[in-house]
Structure 1
Amino acid sequence: MNFLALDFETASSQPHSACSIALTMVRENKIVGEFSTLIKPDTPFSPHTINVHHITPDMVQDAPTFAQVWPVIKQYFNPNSLIVAHNAAFDNRVLSACLAYSGFTQPTYLTLDTVRTSRACYKKLPNHKLNTVADYLNISLNHHDALEDSRACALILIHQATHFDLSLLKPFVSYYPK
């Protein structure tokens, strides 16, 4: 499979408050590249999100804004791209909000949620959170680090693509936005 795994961390509950983004590029079921950067959001950080991902306002002080990051990564988001995330609704919503907030047009792309594919593939797990699935597959994970999360998501889908019939995964692919 060829796809791009995406993960965002946000500064607050506001979806346009991305403070970190990571992409893991996969070609023929092999990781071939990664991109990660902190992002300086135009919103205050909430104590709750800092406790989750440990990114602080001081850490992003000199980071680029989303408007500066998007021109670097937008080439990966087109109707032929498969963008994968663990809990894709969250990451797609953050991307859409950041694009709208920054005045960029929302691209259309294919998306797949590895929470949903994990429920179909690993039915006996107690839950299908990223850390649970990663642990089950012996994938190293420093959870809530965007690059670690995008890499784990990529490795989960690679495992599914190589150990299960791909027709099992097809129903989970859809266009975003619909």
Structure 2
Amino acid sequence: MNFVAMDFETANHEKHSAVSVALAVVRDDQVVDEFYSLIQPETYFSARNTAIHGIHEQDVANAPKFPEIWAKVAPLFTEEKLVVAHNAPFDHGVLTGTLAYYGIEQPHYMLLDTVRSSRKFFPDFANHKLNTVAENLGITLAHHHNALDDAVAAANILIYQAQHFGTENIKPFVKNK
């Protein structure tokens, strides 16, 4: 399979509050490239979110704003590209919310949520959180809520699912965005 796994961390509940983004590029069932960046959001930081991911306002003071990052990664978000995320409604929402905040045109791409596919393929897991699924499948997740580690884990979850259940059984989970 060829796809891109994405993960965002946010400063607060607002959809345009991304503080980090990571992408894991998969070609032929292998993670072949990784991208990670802190992001300087134009909003406040909530203590709750900072406690989850450990990113503070001073950590992103000199980070690029999202439009600069988007210019680098936008080619990965096209109609023929599959984008994967664990809890895709959240990450897709952050992407679309941040693009809307900056008045940037929304991309169209195919989206797959590995939470949904994991619920189908692994109904007996205690839950389908990223760390639980990764642990049950023997996938390394060194630092949960580090965007890069989370994106790579999501990529490896889909690779595992495709190898064990077949790509034809993955296709029903793909949605056009």
TM-score by length of 2: 0.98
Alignment-derived partner of residue 145 in structure 1: 146
The separation in 1 between residues aligned to 2:77 and 2:166, in whole angstroms, is: 26
Q: Deviations over 1:135-156 (max 9, x none)?
A: 1011121100000000000000
Alignment-derived partner of residue 57 in structure 1: 57
Counterpart AA for 1:167: E
| Cα distance, 1:121 vs structure 2 | 1.1
Gaps of 5+ in 2: none
Alignment-derived partner of residue 35 in structure 1: 35
Please state whether the residue corresponding to 1:63 is helix, strand or coil. coil
| Cα distance, 1:167 vs structure 2 | 2.2
Please state whether the residue corresponding to 2:62 is helix, strand or coil. coil
Alignment-derived partner of residue 126 in structure 2: 126
RMSD: 0.6
Counterpart AA for 1:74: A
Alignment-derived partner of residue 92 in structure 2: 92
Show the 5 A alignment for 1:73-92. Answer: 73-92=73-92
The separation in 1 between residues aligned to 2:140 and 2:61, in whole angstroms, is: 29
List 4+ stretches of structure 1 deviating above 2 A: none
Alignment-derived partner of residue 157 in structure 1: 158
Please state whether the residue corresponding to 2:100 is helix, strand or coil. helix
The separation in 2 between residues aligned to 1:158 and 1:171, in whole angstroms, is: 16
The answer to whether structure 1 residue 68 and structure 2 residue 68 are counterparts is yes
| Cα distance, 1:93 vs structure 2 | 0.5
The separation in 2 between residues aligned to 1:107 and 1:168, in whole angstroms, is: 26
TM-score by length of 1: 0.97
The separation in 2 between residues aligned to 1:60 and 1:97, in whole angstroms, is: 19
111-120 vs 166-175, which moves further:
166-175
Q: Deviations over 1:6-55 (max 9, x none)?
A: 00000000010000000000001011100000000000100000000000
| Cα distance, 1:165 vs structure 2 | 2.4
Number of residue equivalences:
176
Please state whether the residue corresponding to 1:168 is helix, strand or coil. helix
Gaps of 5+ in 1: none
The separation in 1 between residues aligned to 2:37 and 2:136, in whole angstroms, is: 28
The answer to whether structure 1 residue 106 and structure 2 residue 106 are counterparts is yes
Aligned-pair identity (%): 49
Alignment-derived partner of residue 170 in structure 1: 171
| Cα distance, 1:166 vs structure 2 | 2.1
The separation in 2 between residues aligned to 1:54 and 1:117, in whole angstroms, is: 29
